[in-house]
Every structure is written in structure tokens, then in C-alpha cells.
Structure 1
């Protein structure tokens, strides 16, 4: 009989033939534990039993604190426009150039076993396996976020998670925080509008959300925002549809993506960027690095630069989706960070989360390691280290031919001045927490407004204290008087 094999990290592993232990010894009996006589107690010398139970106990790693529930797929990114005058990133260097990618979708607040069709932002985390190293673009399906400074992120997420006393998500906690954080008004309007529950991962947009830096070969710097516009069209569920599917089919989005790719219906997105010359940022009418705001298209029109296609499913969800690790600190030459304070915090937090969850060598796993180049570092040892460096030296500088620094930074320098301290972001002429939320509301049709008000009122009505409810409503009132008036009436009707 010919044995079938699978190749994993360069190792050939048989998928048929004799069953063995982890050390390769054949297993004589996988149905009955070894006992002291018929009907006697199990013996500790049954190493096959102990090994199986010990491995089973350790089959799960800590789930992500946020974005725990996810699905993913591999694909390709193809350049469709020449952007070499803006960035020297090689994977963007010429029209027609293709780069392998891995995209993980996710909900934010729920745990690993939660339902797909809940009202929640969706993560849109994209890994480009470029010839200059992996580039991770870690965004969402909304162009903005609830807060503008990473120091508030743990507090925000605590309000979305289970209360330490009740063990449930509490409306009081959610609206107390949002009411005391007016900057959240824009994102909350997005979340409780029609796009708060996408019909599928294939029918929603993705955004880099943050502002990033591009630098060209001449050293010129530009600020950019990424947009991934779904070519399948935007489709959403109502609250009632989302609730029904959450109970009947909690894996709906995950299965929809997998089955579409199995059918050969490969989802695609048109990739666009907004580009701002670096010297325009300081005097722009509002802070262009504020994650709670969008750049109006009339100021910086989106430019199409590429096409993203998903065309291959992971073979193993745990190995390739659960253990996938994304970090916005994974840049390549020609792309870098901006002074966005949320992004600056995430540059540390994402990598650190995976060092805790998966281990210090998480980037050695097949889904995470570079594919078009080879990582060449002096990092050694630690949990799950596979000895890949062999006898090579583990220090730098050395005279044994080890890797050397290039002397060329990946991105351009950012000018800074002033004293250190806990500073709020600099104010621009039109900085305001409510303007863009009001603009978004006024863009909606009457039917969209009615659904938005109903979604918000249904949640705010669950708040136990009148002052928390009123403070929350007042933020929407400041965004638009009609918005606040209708929401107040809807909440009062529900609260009696």
C-alpha cells in the first residue's frame, strides 16, 4: 500500500500507515487503555494514553482579547496603477506586479465561540508576503474608530466585554463610556447604521483606517489612507436578520467565505488610496492623524492602485487562522507609521499580544513567516524554537559573515519639537468630535435614519440610569439636532 504524505515546514509527514506516538513509536491499541488486569485501574506507564490527554489539554492557545472570532483566506494583490512617484515599496513598483496575501476577517468584541452576525465592527487584517518582508495592514470595515488615543483602548474594550460582577455585557458600561467620550459619536453612528451587520465578509469594504506614511525613492514623504471597495457590492443584514442567524447559524460568515471560494466565486476588492503631501498636514483644517475622522473625498480623491482577490482557503483553521499574527509594525521600505496616536500604541500592542498568545517564535509559523524572502535575524531560542539558525553566530557585529544592517531607514523622518508630556493631539481649525457624525447622518436616506434610530434606541433603552442615557443622547444631539430629537423620543417611548 502506498502511503500518502503532506509537507509541513519542509518536513514530509505520512497521512496513512501505522499510527504512532509523538516520538514516532507505533501505537498497538488506540481503543483501550492499559490496565492492571481486566477491569483494573489504569497504569501510569501507558504513555500513549498520557501523551494523548496531555496534548488534548493543551490544544488551545489563549484567544485574542479582541478580534477573537475570525475567518481567513489566501489571495493575490495585483498593482493596477503606477504609484512609484509616491512610494519605493517594491511590491507596488510596477503595474501588473502580483503579491501573495493572507486576509483575516473578524468581529471585535465577541469571544472565539460568539456568533458571526452580531452588530460589531469587522477586522480586515491583510498580510502581504512581499520580497522585502511581510507588510501587515491591520484595519477594519469602517474608516474610523471609537477613540483617538491608545491609552484609552483597554478601558474601551472593558466596556464591550463582560462586566466583572454580572459576567455579561452591560448597556450601562457601554453607554457610560461612549457618553463620556464624545469622540466616539462618529464611529457609533457607523456601527448602528445599516453597515453595522454585513451580510457577508465578501459584501463589505475594508479600510486601513489609520493614516500611514509613504516615501518615494527621492525621499519625499506623503500621508496615505487605504480603501478596499468590495466588487461584490455592499449588502447588510437588519438587526432582526442578524439576530435570527446568530441563533440559527452562528458560523454564517465563516462558511459563506469558505464555500464561495470552494465554488470558484473568488471575492475581489478594488484597492484605493487617498494621498496627502506631507507639508499639507500641519495646516489641514482638522487633524489628519485623528482616527475618529475621515478625509473628505473632495479634498483628497481616492486613487485606484490595485485589485485584491481571495482564491484559496486555509487547510487548517487553527494553524493558519487562529495562529496567524498581524502587527501594524510590520512595514517594508517605503511605508511607515504616522503620528496617529492609536496607530503608535498598536505598533507595540499587536506584536506583544501574539508574543503572549502564540509565543516568541510566532513569526516562524508558516502562515506568518515571509514567503518571497527569508527572515535573517539574530533572535534565538525561546518557546517552540526550531533551531533554524543552526551553527550561525547569535550576535552582531561579527566577523563570520552574519547579516548586516543596511543603513537606510524604511521610512522618512518625522520632525518633532517641544517638551515631553501627556499632551492631547494638536488642535486644527475645524477639529470637532461631532461634525463628521452629523455629516454621516445627513447623508442617510429617511429609511436608513429610521433603522439607525431604532438600533440605537433599542440599546440605550436598556441603560438603568437616566443620566447615562441622557448624556449618550446629547452627543448625537450635538452632531445633528434632528438626530438627537428623534433618538430621544425613541428612547423615551421604549423606556415608558
Structure 2
């Protein structure tokens, strides 16, 4: 019998041993004191009680019980790597952001891929939207571009976000997921989910790996150029490895055989020198075009049609370095859409507006108020007036901790001030439910013009698989909703469900 071939990830410890053959490191306590014995506790005789003065044992046990920090409520399971972003095309007419300031300029980046719904330990190959977040370590500070592998999302208002995440998480009573009744109940009550549902149940709902999927900023952002001119923008990153997906049966098999399939694939590819890369594009829309557009450009359930707003090439990014320690560099990495550098601004996108608060608050809860001082999250330089708090690594020495001051503390950046746009606002402050704002036109384009017939067949099969465990009422609501996309789609769903019912009889 042949010996199974070890993958690259399995060689990690052997590689460490080889690189440390001459090492004379000795074991120390966490405070650096050499340990005389590591594998035995300090007892009174062989069977005597352990002494409280075994300070290293107490320290190690106390640290061990605190090894796990709260997992992310969303995007808990993921993998990441490091690399660089390189500008290949000049877009300074649109933005003065230094990351794009000149062709051939390189900026260090970190990227984290993730599931949206699954918790830590969940199989990588379950049907889900995948997170695709990029951290740019620029000379102007951290820019976090937090997106997904889909250009759209299920909902358009952050007020609905906690509820939507609840329906793709575990049922609070049965503790099982997915709960098909919860999912279809909310989805069919909010037809704005239609467009993303088609994408979710298409082949792209289960990527073959992280390297072979596209990424998108998903939200609408804004650019400001050196002349103070303002543009709205969308971000796209297209895999240079091409797109690949998994059939549901293969995905289910792999979930049982190798729950970390995507994580392993990314690690091994980079270790072997097969560095994954993506081409980086933007779409641009002027404020005048936004005001007169036929659909809401700030609606996350809609794409900007490329025929009207073509992809403009900007650069490419490459991942060429694996983390040295997963917990320190990937589990503790924190992405925040509010981390925008001069030349890049928010838009009225309701989902983005909510994320500007929620992400940073999540990291303050998970990682602590000083999470931006952790090396993986830290900018090249930071001069501010925040002090103290749990996990302080840098307290700015004797610099003034207040502003204004007379003692040469940090001053206002004139460039950043000049790039801060003046945005005129008008309207009454009231709650406006935008859920019925043309939920089917773009979904119809996707179904009728973009999807091929074999893709439509597989998408319907995937929908039926998720619909068949639900109640008849929810099945009927789904058929009505998707019939608004195309009567053919509604008929196919009904036929698929009727076939299952006949088999069960």
C-alpha cells in the first residue's frame, strides 16, 4: 500500500525544525525567566498536593482558560494571507488617495476570506456568501475594504441586518442550522432578497476555493480628487486564476472529509509559490448620474450595470506570504469599513452607514479598545489623544493627551482637511422602508440573460433542496416571489417541489 502524500501544510513543523537546528533557545515563563522543569507540577512529595507557589503552572493554566476570544458573530470561520497591491493604471483624476498616487506603486496588504454564517469549526464548503476583506497598510493610515465574493447582498438597510444574520444562524431552540423555515420566512417577506437569492443558489454559492472566486467591495463608496471633485465608486477584484465552483454533492462529501478544505488549499498554494492574484477595478458614477439613475446606486441589492458604468482597471494584488501564527495575525485581524484614508469617503449606502459603526464596535468587544495597537491592525504611524485602556501597547510617551495644546502635540493635516468634501443634505428625518424599490428587474436580467440554461437548472435544484423541508405556506410564498422574476422560474420550482412530494408519497 502506498503512503499518502503529505500536503505542504503538514510540513510546517518539519520546516520549523530544519530552520532551527542550531537553536539554543530555552523554555522560559511568560515573563522571560528560565524554567528548571516544564513537565511536572510542584507537589509535596509524589502524591502530595500541588503548591500554590508553582507560579508558572498557575500562569499557564490561567492563560489556557483564556486562550479563546469571542468568535466573530459574522464571518467567524476564515483564512488569510499577506501580500501587496500594485497600481497599474492612473486613476488620480478620480481620487487623491495616496494608495493610488502613482503607477507601479506597491502597498502591503492583508486579506481575509471567510464564511458569513458559519461559526468557527464549520466546514469550508457549505453554501454561503464568502467574505473577502482587504487591509491596505498605506502611508496615510489603514484602509479596510470589507466586501464579499458577491457584488450584491440580501438586504439594503442595516436595520434588517441582525434579523437576517439570525435566520442564517442556528435556531435558538433546536440549535440546528440551517433552519429552512426561518430562512424562507424572512426571505419571502422581504422580496429585496430575490436578486441575491438567485446568486446564492447558483453555482457560485459554493466556491471551489478562495483563490478562484471574484471579490467586491459590495457597498458604494466615494472618491475625492485633488481638486475637491466628488465621485461615487464600486470596487471589483477579479481572480486571475479564473472562477471554479463545487457541485453540492462534492461539497457535502468534502465537508465531512476535510472541513478546512479552503483554508488548506490557500495555505498550500502560497507555500508552494503558486501565489494567487486578482486584478483590481473600479466603477465610477458622478453625483449627477447618481441623481438621475434609473435605480438606486446606493442599494446593496443591485449592481451597477457595466454597460453604463464599465470596469476601469486600477491594479492587481498578490498574496505571497502565509501568516506565521494564525491567531495573532488572522483571528486577531480586524477590518472596519470606517477605516477610510483621505481621498476615499462613505456614501449614503444604508448598509455601509450601519457598518461604519458596527464593525469597529465588534472589535472593541472581541479584541479590546486598543485592538488597533496589535501589530496586524496597526498603521505605520498613529498620533492621537486616546490613552490607557485594556491591552495598551503604545501610550505615546509624554505627548499631550489633549487638544488643543501648546506643547507641540500632533496638528491637523491640511491635506486631509482639503480632501474632506462638503456634502449638501436635504429631506425630512423619518424612517423610510425601501424594501419595495424594484426588486425584480435586475434579478430578471440575471436569470434571463446572464445565466445559461444548465446554470438555471442547477440553481432551481439547489433552491428546491432548501425549500423541501419547509412548510407549504413558505413554499407557495417562494414560488410567487420567484415567479415575479420569470414565470418559468416559478413553474420550475413548483415542478421540483411536486416531484419531491410525489416521491415521498
Same fold (TM over 0.5): yes
**Native 8 Å contact 2:228 2:418 kept in 1:** no
Question: Aligned to 1:209, what secondary structure does the other structure show?
Answer: coil
Normalised by the size of structure 1, how large is the TM-score?
Answer: 0.94
Shift, 1:44, TM fit: 1.8
Q: State yes or no: 1:22 paired with 2:27.
A: no
Q: State yes or no: 1:40 paired with 2:48.
A: yes
Alpha-carbon deviations, 1:109-128, whole Å to 9, x = none? 00011011110011010011
Shift, 1:410, TM fit: 4.7
Shift, 1:242, TM fit: 0.7
Q: Show the 5 A alignment for 1:79-478.
A: 79-169=87-177, 170-371=179-380, 374-406=381-413, 408=417, 410-425=419-434, 431-442=437-448, 443-463=450-470, 465-478=471-484
Partner of 2:5: none
**Native 8 Å contact 2:82 2:320 kept in 1:** yes
**Native 8 Å contact 2:373 2:394 kept in 1:** no
**Aligned residue pair count:** 478
Normalised by the size of structure 2, how large is the TM-score?
Answer: 0.92
Shift, 1:426, TM fit: 11
Shift, 1:423, TM fit: 2.2
Distance 1:15 1:424, change over 3 A: farther
**Native 8 Å contact 2:254 2:261 kept in 1:** yes
Alpha-carbon deviations, 1:390-413, whole Å to 9, x = none? 122211111111012235165423
Shift, 1:15, TM fit: 7.5
Distance 1:423 1:15, change over 3 A: farther
Which runs of 5 or more structure 2 residues have no equivalent in the other structure?
1-15, 17-21
Shift, 1:387, TM fit: 4.0
Shift, 1:17, TM fit: 2.7
Partner of 1:484: 490
Shift, 1:30, TM fit: 1.3
**Native 8 Å contact 2:190 2:435 kept in 1:** no
* Superposition misfits of 4+ residues, deviation over 6 angstroms: none
Shift, 1:16, TM fit: 4.6
Q: Distance in 1 between matches of 2:480 and 2:44?
A: 73
Alpha-carbon deviations, 1:61-117, whole Å to 9, x = none? 100001000111111111111111100011101111111111100011000110111
**Native 8 Å contact 1:123 1:141 kept in 2:** yes
Shift, 1:28, TM fit: 1.8
Which runs of 5 or more structure 1 residues have no equivalent in the other structure?
1-5, 7-13
Q: Distance in 2 between matches of 1:152 and 1:446?
A: 33
How well do the aligned residues superpose, as a CA RMSD in angstroms? 1.6
